[in-house]
Structure 1
Amino acid sequence: MKSNFKRALCAISLLAISSTALAQHTAADASAMVRKAVVYLKKNGKEKLLAEASNPKGAFVDNDLYLSIYTLDGKVAAHGANPKLIGVDVSQLRDANDRYFIKDILGAARSAGSGWVDYKWVDPASKALRDKSVYLEKADDLVIAAGFYK
């Protein structure tokens, strides 16, 4: 009886560890989500994309991987993790290294149309300051971004 309990406990522990490992996202996941959003925008229009991107149970939220969509002047148009940010000008927001990372995101969108921006941010899961990378693409008058913790 005790050995069955130990086996069950081991199985549950392994499942928890593997679930945590599966929750970690990659650069490929972030860029794929942004590309999926650009296709969605072209097919369904701006209003539907913004609504879906801000829906916590929508197609563009996967645990700690979600879309942040900005206007070219730095206002949040949609946010998968914090809808209270919608309409807020975040262009002056700085990371832990005092870097204006939103300005960097907007600048990359204007100059190259797409790219990666790295910054330091608090991981909501671990509450630790971590390196984060965000992939972005300019689509119409929006900047669509998704990031992952390294």
Structure 2
Amino acid sequence: MKRIPVAGLALAVVTLFAAPAAQAQNATKDDAVAMVKKGIAFIKANGKDKGYAAITTKDPQFIKHDLYLVVYGLDGKGLAHGANEKMVGRDLIDLKDIDGKPFIKERVELGKSKPGGFWQDYKFTNPTTKKVEPKQMYCERLDETIVCGGIYK
């Protein structure tokens, strides 16, 4: 009878349960939709200055695992960014993902044509893993802005 080393068995068990646990830490589509609606309600109730500041300073109510909010003007200017405050105030309309997709330009165009809300696919750096990963962004229009929150697949 062949004996399995205890260390090998322990590693196998940890590996088996670690992958689902790591995936459980990713936000869901429902989380993204709820977070965007929460962000919009906060901005409406407290004004743009306070709302954008709360998002950009990573107020815990606008962060969930790998999910954070961003706000763009319809001109592609970054107004709030829950993962990278250096994006605020910058013209991001020509920003492209790793595949060359002009995702901000596309997002602005979708925001203008689909004010009720939409999903967008592109690739972006996951702040949790620090790796470029496929991402789905849910966005809704608020006046002359687009409020978005995305999940990594």
| Superposition TM-score, scaled by structure 2 size | 0.81
2:3 alignment partner in structure 1: none
1:103 alignment partner in structure 2: 105
Report the alpha carbon displacement of residue 57 of structure 1 after superposing the two structures with TM. 3.6
Of 28, 32, 39, the residue aligned with 2:30 is: 28
Report the alpha carbon displacement of residue 40 of structure 1 after superposing the two structures with TM. 1.2
1:61 alignment partner in structure 2: 63
2:96 alignment partner in structure 1: 94
Matches of 1:147 and 1:57 in 2, distance apart?
17
Measured against aligned partners, the alpha-carbon deviations of 1:103-123 in whole angstroms (never above 9, x if no partner) come to 111111100112011012233
Quick one: percent identity of the two aligned structures?
A: 37
What secondary structure, in the 3-state scheme, does the structure 1 residue paired with 2:76 have? coil
Measured against aligned partners, the alpha-carbon deviations of 1:33-76 in whole angstroms (never above 9, x if no partner) come to 00111111221111111011112243212232100111111111
Superposed counterparts of 1:66-81, under 5 Å: 66-81=68-83
Residue 143, structure 1, aligned to residue 143, structure 2: no
Matches of 2:27 and 2:18 in 1, distance apart?
17
2:4 alignment partner in structure 1: none
Residue 47, structure 1, aligned to residue 42, structure 2: no
1:124 alignment partner in structure 2: 127
Change (3 A) 1:41 1:56: closer
Aligned pair count reads 141
Segments of structure 2 that go 5 or more residues without pairing to the other structure are: 1-6
Runs of 4 or more above 6 Å deviation: 14-18
Report the alpha carbon displacement of residue 15 of structure 1 after superposing the two structures with TM. 8.9
Segments of structure 1 that go 5 or more residues without pairing to the other structure are: 1-5
Aligned Cα root-mean-square deviation (Å): 2.2
Change (3 A) 1:56 1:15: farther
2:87 alignment partner in structure 1: 85
Residues 27 and 65, structure 2, Cα contact 8 Å, conserved in 1 = no
